[in-house]
Structure 1
């Protein structure tokens, strides 16, 4: 107690100090956690601007939705394409925005209005196009913009602000690109050089020996050869991003013979039920793996197996089961008839939501139909009562073929009679339709298809998984991986120089989980999990890492081996040819001493540096056009072999009379490359950091 009493002051000071430090550390840790959390939500950086995962992913989802509308569904490759395309759009947007802001480029109010409503950009057209006709609906766009100002939730307003900013920046970017294009200039000397390069002809003779003619026994590739080639071609070995190489074994879980027999029994049972079905649409909806609408199709539109039998069959005919693209199928002819090739129609679309319900919308449609049948002007009624973009054209939908409209609407106008007016209810509302004309005629068939994919059973999958589990439990490094693969007779597959965002490998369509592991592993690591990819279970080992930047000689040694060998062969051939050229006066003597033949060539131009029958030889043709006629050349090392030549003659083209035309052609050609080239140059100068591999 005395000890504590004597030192109480010191102890209190220390205690207070510890408390303060703890407080500060706690605050720092919390702050640090916020920073770490923030950094973990970043998907990339461009200069000083960060790209958040949340914002980027919203764009990916929007672009994916648009892609799905066009393609129906997205496979892993399509998803990877959408992510890559969205990334390029985002990065280019940030880079170009900085450039355009520095230049002070803007879009005025009247110009923006024009881009949104009068001459709408492609993006605006996609958003406000009529779902039935695909035509831009200006009235809907204007009404939506007016509603945005009074929207109580503010959501529509924020969507319009984003759209306007997007359209505005897109136009500013176009102005920037046009400024660059307007700065392109080709002078008269450039035009004359280009004209000469394309039209000046040369006739020459040459002797040639292929590098491959040198026997392997005469070629000794040394480390010095590798180093020489590497130093001369270092610029070729720049890795834009880190790549990795790995080996893997795949345990197949594809359907077994028993799975196939079981699937056949199941489809046979479905076929019997299909024959007696009285509601084919419901039967397909219940039994088919792929739910597709049953619509009329012309010959050539059905898959080949059905196209050859259905157009000569009777209603109710059942074909199958048959096997197609990994799926068992059975098809039934629901109907067959002669139908118009195209139809011209008009309609008045009534929206039940604004009429107080479907009953009132149908009643209004019936009233309009009676007025039309009584002689009222259809176009005037459409303009007054229509609710879609066609009302501004008197309800005119133009002339369209099958597949342009939704099935119910299509059946009504293609199966009806010219002049007929009818009321139809669809998912878009209630239509008053008038068929104006039907053009052409072809036989069409309505075929219902039930499909059942051939898939592995749980027994098959479990057996394959157990094999993979047994393998992974016996390997811990690359050596044991190789030993066990060899012992079990497994085929080792290779993923070579895989990038961090690559989505697939040969035979493995969706390999993202595997590639993510590869980029989090260390060289020599064996995967600690079994990857379920398609119908395979995969175990991998990371064998090599190539960093971003200029690769080392060791990294590229295997890759450059053929080129280094060719370099050694070139030295052997060049030495023998130089001896043959020494002391001779003509090319025939060179041919005799080297055991080759003299080959004549006529009418070669500088712009197309190809030696007929051999290959493109830029260095050789360039040397030829810089030579004097009737002089024996030095030995030239080309891409395919060594050459000695003699120029026989040059034929100069007629004097260029229309320099302006050539300049315009050159400027146009260069302008076509501006969009991609400008972005590529700006991107190289910008400090772009890509963290997408953490998220996708």
Structure 2
């Protein structure tokens, strides 16, 4: 990664100050006054076991999470915003679930512990990075404590001058938000460690498992498959479904949800739209070829692909028709040609023989905060500083030591300013121009948007033809006429569909495909098969059963939907659960019929004769594997029967209702394999480790299952 890119992502050297303001400090504050901070709650976005989650607090945490995502370079589009909301909600629910357990277990974090996390031997990684001397690798806890004292003073005094506002806000954010998060993090660590360390596997359990798993069995069996009884011969009533639900309620819980059926009307670009755009670019291609300033021309006429005023090596250019583009003379154009849903015209600006990659080192004197764009040093002061650095190096000072002491680039200063090898497009133009147009060993000062760089070109390799190419590119998009045609068809369909019956009739008459989107939750943003459309979800939750929507634009289509199902939170209705339960009950009834027909046979041969099925054998069955060989599949009841000591020596077992049919089994042999090398202690250790590793997810899942969680996010977003 280039240093310029690192500057963009890591906010350069100034971020160290921000880290200090936002991640550390607490020594001289009363912890109890900060850890319970929360904003005013005017309304609730949900609740956990009766404890409300306020919309103000929820939105504050969303804003904070979005800012962090932006700092890491993630695009804050609609999908990312939804991911952030989901993540924040999940975290707030988990925090609420765990808080009661913290209190019940008497868990707390003392001021001394927090101090140790900030300035002690066990300081959290972010703090250590901010206050560790890069030359010695030693954490300077006194510098951290001094910073905390300054923060305490700022926070208590409040913003007195406009110049202090930014630092005060950072201090306020730290004491009211970051410190409680640090405490919360420590509480969670303690809680999870306590739960993990409670894992225990007794010796007798390992010994029993070893004894069971050492057994090996051979059986003969007859399977009468369920498909030998017709499905149409078995009827399952709603009462039977309800009775099964009543006996297995925990398996058939449901969230609040709604289902829809819908039809779509294509509003994507037509062949006419594509041809029209191609013709437009064909007319512009001649003007593009004559334009002396390609960047100004592209800015004037508009291009999806911005102009890159630099050179890219031949091997690294991966565009359609590149050989035709390489064959152009300077100033000539090629196209329009198709490129990933766009029409493009390429213009060859220049050709040079340049290195494919360069290794350089630099020392940066920053003038601008790359995150905020705010100036942090005036230009004249920065110029004097870089000139002084140049003089020091000219007098023989070590580049490595000067970079470590004076460079404002945290990503390279610890490496003596060495950036390693990089390509031209990884750097800002001024930096790249110097490194790729210069020669190995050349040194000089370059000014970029980030400040002044003193650069030394250390190496250049893989010289090849490099091209400067301008691209006039436009995405193929639907014209207003295409969009209006699709919207008109959707509106006509809606006008003619006055109820569910008419909806289905019009689907058939218009030869449309009726699609289903089941179990849409109130806070959902994305509808399966459709994409992101929060407005449609809001309509679904404001509509009645059987109500039909007006056309909604969703991505490149118009959608008309009908509400087909409304499910309240709680236990599934028989109609909702039928698809899951009916096969189970049907097989149970089939098993009863098959078992009744075959009765109590005296031998396996009698079973085969009565059922018309063959006797099969299964050898080398193991107690810890539920599968029968030869593709028979998973049959745990049959495997269990193979190791049933009460069946030893008997000609045939009772009927067994298996996964795929009714089985009768004869146990031919059961023996045991020796396992003299089994290490009981090692096995106990490994199983306990496995339990510890999985305790967090299992614990949270268990707490969720027994909790009462209300999600009202759909009322706000």
TM-score (norm 2): 0.78
2:274 aligned residue? 260
Whole-Å separation in 1 of the counterparts to 2:626 and 2:79: 38
Question: Tell me, what secondary structure is at the counterpart of 2:184?
Answer: helix
Asked if 2 retains the 8 angstrom alpha-carbon contact of 1:76 and 1:509, the reply is: no
Matched residues, number: 647
CA distance in 1, matches of 2:684, 2:276: 71
> 1:617 is matched with which residue?
635
Does 1:159 pair with 2:176?
A: no
The Cα offsets for residues 317-373 of structure 1, whole Å up to 9 and x where unpaired, read as 866443344333445566575636573624233436888522442343234224313
Alignment of 1:465 onto 2:481:
no
Q: For 1:600-679, list aligned pairs within 5 A.
A: 600-612=617-629, 613-627=631-645, 628-631=647-650, 632-647=652-667, 648-655=669-676, 657-679=678-700
How far 1:471 moved relative to its partner? 3.0
CA contact (8 A) 1:80 1:503 kept: yes
Aligned counterpart, 2:601: 582
* Distance in 2 of aligned mates of 1:228 and 1:329: 65
Measured in 1, the distance between the counterparts of 2:427 and 2:539 equals 45
Q: Structure 2: how far apart are the matches of 1:492 and 1:137?
A: 67
Q: 1:477 aligns with which of 499, 502, 525?
A: 499
State the secondary structure of the residue aligned to 1:248.
strand
Map of 1:12 onto structure 2: none
> Displacement, 1:521?
1.9
Q: In the TM superposition, what are the counterparts of 1:391-540 in structure 2 within 5 Å?
A: 393=414, 395-397=416-418, 399=420, 401-402=422-423, 406-408=427-429, 409=431, 412-413=434-435, 416-436=438-458, 449-527=471-549, 529-540=550-561
Residue segments in structure 2 that go unaligned for 5+ positions in a row: 1-39, 133-138, 369-373
Task: Tell me, yes or no, if the aligned pair for 1:202 and 1:602 is still in contact at 8 Å.
Answer: yes
Check 1:415–1:163 CA distance in 2 against 1; reply closer, same or farther (3 A cut): farther
1:542 is displaced (CA, Å) by 1.3
- What is the Cα deviation at residue 512 of structure 1? 1.7
CA distance in 2, matches of 1:165, 1:276: 63
Task: State the 1:146 CA deviation.
Answer: 6.8
Assess, with a 3 A threshold, how the Cα gap between structure 1 residues 568 and 449 changes in structure 2: closer, same or farther. farther
CA contact (8 A) 1:97 1:169 kept: no
The partner residue of 1:91 within 93, 96, 99 is 93
Partner of 1:17: none
Structure 1: which 5+ residue stretches go unaligned?
A: 1-37, 130-135
Match of residue 52 from structure 2 = 50
The match for 1:237 is 252
Question: Which position in structure 1 is the counterpart of 2:563?
Answer: 542
Q: Distance in 1 between matches of 2:377 and 2:358?
A: 35
Task: Compute the displacement of 1:291 (Å).
Answer: 4.4
How large is the Cα RMSD of the aligned pairs? 4.0
The question of 1:104 aligning with 2:85 is answered no
After superposing the two structures, state which structure 1 stretch, 41-50 or 282-291, moved more. Answer: 282-291
2:359 is equivalent to residue 343 of structure 1: yes
Provide the C-alpha distance between the structure 1 equivalents of 2:140 and 2:347, rounded to a whole number of angstroms.
40
The match for 2:400 is: 379
Select 1:171's aligned residue among 186, 200, 203: 186
Stretch deviating more after TM superposition (555-564 or 435-444): 435-444
Matched ranges for 1:315-330 at <5 A: 320-330=335-345
Taking the aligned partners of 1:199 and 1:338, their CA distance within structure 2 comes to 69
Counterpart for residue 3 of structure 1? none
CA distance, structure 1, for counterparts of residue 98 and residue 502 of structure 2: 52
Cα distance in 1 for residues equivalent to 2:464 and 2:102: 56
Pair 1:646–1:583, CA change in 2 (3 A): closer
1:250 shift after superposition: 2.1
1:30 equivalent in structure 2: none
Q: Tell me the secondary structure at the aligned position of residue 519 of structure 1.
A: helix
Change (3 A) 1:661 1:401: farther
State whether residues 348 and 431 of structure 1, in contact with CA within 8 Å, keep that contact through their aligned partners in structure 2: yes
Select between 451-460 and 560-569 the one with higher mean Cα deviation.
Answer: 560-569
